[in-house]
Amino acid sequence: MNGLSPYIWLGQQLYCVLVMHIVRLVRWTTCSRTEELVAKLLLQNQTVSSVRGDGCVEARLEIEVTSVQVGRARVLEILRENGNGGR
């Protein structure tokens, strides 16, 4: 690298490191994550759609259980119903 290039590169690197630390300290780590937004919408009983080309996928959340034990039992029941043996 000649002339001004190393200084521009160094400045860009320092800027990136500074911004990464600010984001981490302010706890903005999930502000732009798709899975965070999808989870938030599902917990608000909304339907989430993803459209690509001529296809579409929709997801919604139904909470049927009140505890971890009940949830585990329900998972085993669903596995048995679908022929997976509940392992």
What would the pLDDT profile of 5-43 be if each residue is shown by its tens digit? Answer: 999 999 999 999 999 888 888 877 666 678 888 888 898
Mean pLDDT confidence for 55-74: 88
Cα 80 from Cα 85, distance rounded (Å): 5
SS (H, E, C) 24-61: HHHCCCCCCCHHHHHHHHHHCCCCEEEEECCEEEEECC
pTM of the model: 0.44
Higher pLDDT, 15 or 1: 15
Percentages helix, strand, coil for the chain (3-state, rounded to 5) are 55, 10, 35
Segments making up each domain of the chain, as ranges? 1-32, 33-87
Share of the chain above pLDDT 90, in %: 33
Residue 1: the pLDDT is: 67
